[in-house]
Structure 1
Amino acid sequence: MTGRPGTDRTGSIRRYLLLWAELLVDSWRRAPVLTAMQFVIPAGMAAAVTGGALALRAAVDALIAADPPAAVVAAIAAGLAGAAGIVLGALDSHTAGILIGKVAVLDLNPRIHRAITTLDGLEHLERTDFQDRLTLLRNAGWEIVLSLWSANGVLFAVLELTVMLLLLGTVNPWLLCLLAFAAVPLWFDQRGNNAVIRADLATAEPIRRQRHLFDLATDPASGKEIRVAGTGDEIARRQAGAWDEAMRQRFRARLVAAGWRTTGWLLFTAGFGAALALVVHQAANGTGSAGDLVLAVTVAAALRQSVSTGVHYTTNVASAGRVIEPYLWLRDYVRANRDRTGATTPAPARLAHGITLDRVGYRYPGATGPALAEVSVHLPAGSVVALVGEYGSGKTTLVKLLGKLYRPDSGRILVDGIPLDELETAAWRTRISATFQDFGRFPTRFGENVGVGDLPHRTDRERIAAAVREADATGLVDRLPDGLDTELDASFGGTDLSEGQWQKTALARAAMRPRPLLFLLDEPTASLDAPSEQEIFDRQMERSRRRAAETGAVTVIVSHRFSTVTGADLILTLHHGRLVEAGSHRELTAIPDGRYATLYRMQAEAYTRRGRPAGADD
């Protein structure tokens, strides 16, 4: 894990500048004309304000000098400058919005999603510090891109302030002191925003909790249990409590920020009033012209607007820190954790020897004990291996380690004698097929749901149809209104599937790769009835034997129904994260007091008491 970026002020500014430079390149590549306009328009607006003030002074002085033609020309120039400022102001916000949307939606948001989903493992998705930052980054692309153009707005606001102060300096050099008063609101606003940023990060976890509770309350799957148990009011109470906890902290931070901003503006107003009093005094004593007074009043009023605009842009930049800091943290984390081993060894074309676990151990972050400890076993090439044991015994953890979704904390995994850590991760993953008990439900067409199991062939209808047959899902497809082209997920306007139908879809997806080296089946039929389960296991066993002959593939099956794994070549019994037995069904049942034999006998007796054969579905 990497530390939080930007702990030193200079380093933080440098990182922001580098990020804005990247975003500027993205903006230019995506829309060069709109990008150029973000520089041309503010420059034009500054010129319009300056030109308008000078034209007004000229008009007043011409009237006093009894020169009507010159006064008319100057008045027209002032009017044109004012109109230009209004038009450019409207154009500025419109073009900026289009540009920010383009870059945020088409470049930055996909970049954030890609960074999250292309990390090798899953550990980051189980870390609270990672999840807290993801909460802040949800749909944050707009705000991050906005920070670039807000920084650009600050730059032009400073330029405009400088020009205005130079104009005021022509009336009286003492008016240049307004520069210091103009900086005061910016400094105070920054102090207030720092408090807001700290509060937003500190409350990310309760915000995430209340969002989860809301999703839980509105999800049809959990809705059944909520209504039967009558827990709706309790969930609503807890959601409100989490929201209230977060909002109290954020409200206090915003009160502090408002106090800082109010103090800054009060000081600026005091300086602004003193400057106007000085100009009025100078005009009354005859040391300045009436035009100077008009110029000073006009520029001072515009100065107040420029400071307000500058503060607004500065606020945007500072507020964006609440998402920029997590974004920079995320980039550092991804950079540090993507393929940390620098593995470059290609995956073998076939397995000759098999997969060996050598004293493998793994502990989940924050867990009180290991999920796996000192697991040593050899999985021969071409074998079908079953993992059995009670819930929490480490079966799924072992499957994820084999898929390189986790890295062992201790020990090593060898693939034909090569450490798994040395195999290039993407290449190893292309040689794996897998179905997990918490399988994905993608809101796409049925054929696409299956096809993404082998992305290069996701549109190959013949291969998809073969995978559907492999998963015994042909009848399911025949019942769908549009067959393979049926849109799925009712919440997106499609057809919803039952849990068992989704599981068959996931099994078909896993069957898309025809020659995997490792086939992982983690409770692949938990949602199916017993006949369907047995038929699918028979198909998978047959498929595994074929693949074993072709590539030496190892098939690893996790199942809580013992009758389905009796045909495995090797059965591994796990208990509290340790491998306690290994052997064939015949060998393990021959151990009278063995753990496997005991569990098998208990399950068989339980089903027999119900008048059903061992392994039948409930």
Structure 2
Amino acid sequence: MTRYLRLWTEILGVSWRHARGLTTTVFGIEVGLVAGNIGIALALRAAVDGLVAGDVPAAVTAAVVAAVASTTVLLLNRLHGLIGLFLIVERVGMVLEQRLLEDIAALERIEHLERSDYLDRLTVLRYAPKRIVGGMWNAVRACFTMLQLALTLLLLGSVSPWLLVLLVLAAAPLWCDRAGRKIESHAEISTAEAFRLQRHLFDVATDAAAGKEIRTSQAGHRVAQLQAAAFHEATVGRYSARVRAAWLRAAGWTVFVAGFIACLGIVARQAAAGTATPGDVVLVVTLTINLQQTVQTAVSQLATTMNAGLFLDPYLWLRAYLQQERSARRGDLPPPERLTTGIRLDRVGFSYPGAAEPVLADVDVLLPAGSVVALVGEFGSGKSTLVKLLSRFYEPSLGRITIDGTDLRDIQTEQWRRRTSAAYQDFGRYPQMTFAEAVGLGDIRRLDDVDAVGRAIDAADAQGIVRRLPAGAATRLSPLYGGVDLSEGQWQKTALARASMRTDPLLFMLDEPTASLDAPSEHAIFQRYMQRARQLAARNGAITLVVSHRLSTVAGADLVLVLHRGRLVEQGTHDQLMAAGGRYSELFGLQARAYRLRRP
């Protein structure tokens, strides 16, 4: 509860800073509603008593006050729906959503993107910021409603103290509703994985790219079955939780209604005995109607607030995780301006969370400054994982990585990444951007530098793509955004161009850079990037790391590293490894024979 209150206070502060006028207006509306509703009952009592006493002016004045108060309450309720539940929630929700996305994007590591507990909560948190803000404002309104309820009971108590029991009985539906929300919250999280799976399968079934394979293999029925099974698992769990919660809420309301009827009976008996004035009778009737509506409104508002509570625990968990990750940053040293020794992998080992076996084990090697290093091996041998460690997406489980003798952990991550550049195997696609923007992202500081983007496009041999685009480099990369789609090979060339934006990296990594390209394009790309590697090496001692399963393309590297099942089994030049007759020689021979067999 303390964490919730701190979060409500924080959101209220955000509302005040970013929507001060709206915030003031909402509080003014709430005060006016409380005063108006109580004023209606008091004015009606005064009007009736005035008529009974023969004081017509007083009765007319009270009636006018009641009419004005009724009109004001109606108007304020209309305004509250527009201002409180739409404008302020939209504005402040957008602020929180932007902050959350910026915090997630600023995380140094990507381990969380492969953690089910993180993804489960992220699934629940989709659109959560606006719902949390809405819940906070519903809580504010519930506080004013409870104030109105307390004043109503105080006035009723002045006629019959027995009605004060209703304040205690009102706790029953509130407690039961809170218990029901906890049941629903638990179900939301426990079924999030199944819900995410069914949504993914639905996207696969309706995706144009996957659709070709599904239709050719006639697997549509099976995909639909899997999607339906996952949807059923998610729905059954959530439906069962909602049924149990509904029974709890019904029990709470039963307790309150029974007490409410008993108290009304007492008031009716006192009125019949003549111990109350006619005005008191009208007051009791008016407040009784308002009391029922007020309690129902209070419970509804608290229910809406607690519905937002479904998102509070995942939201607070995520914030705590983000804070933990930020506090774990320890590096504050700058990277060297120029590499003189190189990058040392000192008995590096790494295991993914929950994995039975390590992906890398006891990798010990020096990547010399100014060299072109080829990293080869079969699929699953740990090549891409090593690239992620060098990018600081993960920390080694064992050993360390040093840059000219300085532990990479001690180097400030953001500065290190400014001195690295990479084209990853699972490269990003940015369909909402233009081609120039998708390339310029490689160096965000020069995103709008037309000359720099043009040079990067030339480096990746991607001029042909630009010439074929209807609006050149200004073409958006998706038909959904008024542009055109790219082929897999064209997307890969875009990624290569993006990796070429930085002109002074200390480490330039190409992870399977030509996997989607044809042989002529692959040959042209490697010629260009070997030339680029030599230029970078002469400029600042940069290391170019090329990861490839096509051994013929990396034969010109200064150093070839061979990984097998996460271990470094061979290292040397192409000629040295071929002469040694080991695993590299065996793999090279297998690929050469396969290529000869494929030739016409």
CA distance in 2, matches of 1:199, 1:492: 37
- Which of the residues 103, 110, 114 maps onto 1:126? 114
2:475 corresponds to: 486
- Which of the residues 169, 179, 185 maps onto 2:157? 169
- Which of the residues 354, 360, 365 maps onto 1:366? 354
CA distance in 2, matches of 1:380, 1:331: 41
1:597 corresponds to: 585
In the alignment, is residue 415 of structure 1 matched against residue 369 of structure 2?
no
How many angstroms does 1:338 deviate by? 2.5
Residue pair 2:461, 2:525 contacting (<8 A) in 1 also: yes
1:314 corresponds to: 302
CA distance in 1, matches of 2:315, 2:325: 15
How many angstroms does 1:174 deviate by? 2.1
How many angstroms does 1:492 deviate by? 3.0
Letter in 1 for 2:370: G
In the alignment, is residue 518 of structure 1 matched against residue 507 of structure 2?
yes
Which stretch shifts more, 79-88 or 507-516? 79-88
Residue pair 2:181, 2:310 contacting (<8 A) in 1 also: no
Q: How does 1:499-518 map to 2 (within 5 A)?
A: 499-518=488-507
CA distance in 2, matches of 1:523, 1:64: 94
How many angstroms does 1:195 deviate by? 0.8
Q: How does 1:368-407 map to 2 (within 5 A)?
A: 368-407=356-395
2:90 corresponds to: 101
Q: How does 1:105-116 map to 2 (within 5 A)?
A: 105=94, 107-116=95-104
1:231 corresponds to: 219
Letter in 1 for 2:587: L
- Which of the residues 75, 82, 90 maps onto 1:87? 75
- CA deviations on 1:333-370 (whole Å, 9 max, x unpaired) are 11111262421011111111100001101111222211
- CA deviations on 1:234-256 (whole Å, 9 max, x unpaired) are 11111111111111111111111
How many angstroms does 1:475 deviate by? 1.3
- CA deviations on 1:376-426 (whole Å, 9 max, x unpaired) are 000000000001110000000001101111110000000000001111000
- CA deviations on 1:128-162 (whole Å, 9 max, x unpaired) are 00110010011211111112101101211111111
Q: How does 1:554-593 map to 2 (within 5 A)?
A: 554-592=543-581
- Which of the residues 440, 452, 469 maps onto 2:428? 440
1:349 corresponds to: 337
CA distance in 1, matches of 2:424, 2:489: 13
In the alignment, is residue 63 of structure 1 matched against residue 51 of structure 2?
yes
Residues 339 and 554 of structure 1, relative CA distance in 2, 3 Å threshold: farther
Residue pair 1:446, 1:485 contacting (<8 A) in 2 also: yes
Residue pair 1:339, 1:425 contacting (<8 A) in 2 also: no
Residue pair 1:120, 1:339 contacting (<8 A) in 2 also: no
CA distance in 1, matches of 2:239, 2:372: 59
1:334 corresponds to: 322
Residue pair 1:272, 1:300 contacting (<8 A) in 2 also: no
- CA deviations on 1:87-126 (whole Å, 9 max, x unpaired) are 1111111101111001112x11112212222111111000
- CA deviations on 1:513-545 (whole Å, 9 max, x unpaired) are 001000010001111111111111111010010
- Which of the residues 270, 273, 283 maps onto 1:295? 283
CA distance in 1, matches of 2:169, 2:63: 31
CA distance in 2, matches of 1:595, 1:345: 39
Residue pair 1:373, 1:578 contacting (<8 A) in 2 also: yes
Q: TM-score, normalised by structure 1?
A: 0.95
CA distance in 2, matches of 1:366, 1:492: 40
Q: TM-score, normalised by structure 2?
A: 0.98
RMSD (Å), alpha carbons = 1.1
- Mark the runs of 5 or more structure 2 residues left unpaired by the alignment: none
Q: How does 1:210-229 map to 2 (within 5 A)?
A: 210-229=198-217
Residue pair 1:210, 1:240 contacting (<8 A) in 2 also: yes
How many angstroms does 1:490 deviate by? 2.1
Secondary structure of 1:413's aligned partner? strand
Secondary structure of 2:170's aligned partner? helix
CA distance in 2, matches of 1:524, 1:19: 46
Letter in 1 for 2:406: I
1:454 corresponds to: 443
1:323 corresponds to: 311
Letter in 2 for 1:540: Y
2:462 corresponds to: 473
Letter in 2 for 1:206: A
Residue pair 1:382, 1:548 contacting (<8 A) in 2 also: yes
Residue pair 2:109, 2:392 contacting (<8 A) in 1 also: yes
Residues 527 and 326 of structure 1, relative CA distance in 2, 3 Å threshold: same
Q: Percent identity of the aligned residues?
A: 52
How many angstroms does 1:17 deviate by? 1.3
Letter in 2 for 1:328: L
- CA deviations on 1:154-187 (whole Å, 9 max, x unpaired) are 2111111111111112212222122112222211
Secondary structure of 2:580's aligned partner? coil
- CA deviations on 1:411-469 (whole Å, 9 max, x unpaired) are 00000000011110000011011001111111201110001100010000000000000
- Aligned length in residues: 598
- CA deviations on 1:199-232 (whole Å, 9 max, x unpaired) are 1111111011111111111222211111111111
Residue pair 2:440, 2:498 contacting (<8 A) in 1 also: yes
Residue pair 1:276, 1:297 contacting (<8 A) in 2 also: no
Secondary structure of 1:338's aligned partner? helix
CA distance in 1, matches of 2:173, 2:57: 42
- CA deviations on 1:50-84 (whole Å, 9 max, x unpaired) are 00000111112222223333222222211111111
2:527 corresponds to: 538
- CA deviations on 1:298-317 (whole Å, 9 max, x unpaired) are 11211111111111121122
